[in-house]
A = this chain, B = another copy of it.
Amino acid sequence: MHASFERLETPCLLLDEARMQRNIDRMRERAGALGVRMRPHLKTCKSIDVARRMMASPTGPAAVSTLKEAEYFFGHGVADLLYCVGIAPAKLAHVAALRRRGCALTVILDSLEAARALVQAGAAERERFAVLIEIDSDGHRAGVRPEDPRLLQIARVLREGGAQLQGVMTHAGESYNCRSVDAIRAMAEQERSCAVAAAQRLRAAGHAAPVVSVGSTPTATFAQRLDGVTEIRTGVYVFNDLVMAGLGVCAIDDVALSVLATVIGHQADKGWVLVDAGWMAMSRDRGTAAQPVDQGYGLVCDAAGAPIDGLVMREANQEHGILAMRDGTRFDAARLPVGSVVRVLPNHACATAAPFDDYRVLRGGEVVASWPRMNGW
């Protein structure tokens, strides 16, 4: 067994610090070259230790996906936060409480109903909420289309109700389904142009709309220009994963997260190796299933982090993983005797990290630290 791993009870989550730093540096350079501010999305890492390496300053800016994340990061001094899920009216009292404590928390919405609820809660809480209107740039999920008459109606309700309308945001989640770099580039331009068009429409109607926020890791990676955009929000780039590698966003050896697992048995006649990490550790995310290279529940590497030719986690039960060759040939199970450890790269970093309480940080092949992460709601 790898000396540094002897004391670790498996499964556990390893974080290769050098790979992570390389990923962070690359995205920071991208933002600089594109002339936009970074607002890293912390929903992937959920760790202040990682976040501090991602953010431009200890106070942010940053994006979150839950109010519990907002509480956690604000508790660690991150004060400039964007909560990137359409605000549920019942959560506005919590948002107001955070704002009263000094957290510059901005919320998003995309409907007249939500705008009216926010104005009403603002009056009840005596709070001038900060708001971005969510724009639908790809038909993927939420948002109002830039040409939709409701865009200006929402803005009017917010202004008349005393809210601070700061601008627009969009997320081209559809970029995850692109099948070429050219397609991602086109999606990035679509994301940019929709957001900018919406902001211009607001401004033409007399709203300030200083903020134009876009982003997904794929579109930020391949955007050719971001004229009119003020900030990008990206999260998964910090660790990268097999889905990102399948999209051409990163190389396999940019994937900074892996699950350390121990071999517990074999079905040698089938070429199967059984390990003590299953879907609870890897997640049920099968994001590479729709990509040209299906990595099963994860790509299997040796203890040093080098892929073992074509070995993937082909099936997963709760705490069992079945490793087998991707191409169906028989793996020589004797190569991984009972008790050996492997590192499994994840399809989707956000999902694989979720059940773990901490990152075991690898530096120069040794575990040098444990960084806690928060989870839940």
Interface residues, chain A, CB within 8 Å of chain B? 1, 6, 9-12, 43, 65-67, 85-91, 94, 109-111, 113-114, 117, 134, 136, 141-142, 173, 262-267, 274, 276, 279-281, 283-286, 315, 317-320, 322, 337-339, 350-351, 354-357, 375-377
Measured in the bound complex, the distance between the Cα atoms of B6 and A376 in whole Å is: 19
Measured in the bound complex, the distance between the Cα atoms of B66 and A357 in whole Å is: 15
Known: A274-B142, A338-B113. A85 touches B10 (CB 8 A): no
Q: Which of A90, A111, A339 has the most CB of B within 10 A?
A: A90
Contact (Cβ within 8 A) A88 B141: no
Set B113, B117, B141, B337: member contacting A317, Cβ < 8 A: B141
Measured in the bound complex, the distance between the Cα atoms of B280 and A209 in whole Å is: 32
Contacts of A280 in B (CB 8 A): 350-351, 354
Interface CB pairs A-B, < 8 A, 29 = A9-B91, A9-B94, A10-B90, A11-B377, A12-B377, A43-B319, A65-B319, A85-B319, A86-B264, A88-B262, A88-B338, A89-B339, A90-B339, A111-B265, A113-B337, A114-B338, A117-B339, A141-B315, A142-B267, A142-B274, A280-B350, A280-B354, A281-B377, A283-B284, A284-B285, A318-B350, A355-B355, A355-B375, A357-B376
Known: A9-B91, A376-B356. A276 touches B338 (CB 8 A): no
Does more than half of chain A's interface fall in helix, strand or loop, or is it mixed?
Answer: loop
Contact (Cβ within 8 A) A9 B110: no
Contact (Cβ within 8 A) A317 B173: yes
Known: A109-B265, A111-B265. A274 touches B351 (CB 8 A): no
For the complex of A and B, 8 pairs with smallest distance between CB atoms: A284-B284, A86-B264, A113-B338, A88-B262, A89-B339, A65-B319, A284-B285, A86-B265
Contact (Cβ within 8 A) A262 B90: yes
Set B142, B264, B274, B377: member contacting A320, Cβ < 8 A: B142
Contacts of A67 in B (CB 8 A): 9
Measured in the bound complex, the distance between the Cα atoms of B355 and A109 in whole Å is: 26
Q: How far, in Å, is A326 (CB) from chain B's closest CB?
A: 19
**A287 nearest in chain B by CB position:** B284
Contacts of A90 in B (CB 8 A): 1, 6, 9-10, 262, 339
Query: How many copies of the shown chain assemble into the complex?
Result: 2
Set B87, B281, B354: member contacting A355, Cβ < 8 A: B354
Measured in the bound complex, the distance between the Cα atoms of B319 and A286 in whole Å is: 17
Q: How far, in Å, is A97 (CB) from chain B's closest CB?
A: 12
Measured in the bound complex, the distance between the Cα atoms of B285 and A94 in whole Å is: 31
Contacts of A262 in B (CB 8 A): 88, 90-91
Contact (Cβ within 8 A) A85 B276: yes
Contact (Cβ within 8 A) A117 B86: no
**A110 nearest in chain B by CB position:** B265
Measured in the bound complex, the distance between the Cα atoms of B280 and A354 in whole Å is: 8
Set B10, B111, B266, B351: member contacting A279, Cβ < 8 A: B351
Contacts of A266 in B (CB 8 A): 111
Set B114, B267, B319: member contacting A66, Cβ < 8 A: B319
Q: Which of A65, A279, A319 has the most CB of B within 10 A?
A: A319
Contact (Cβ within 8 A) B85 A377: no
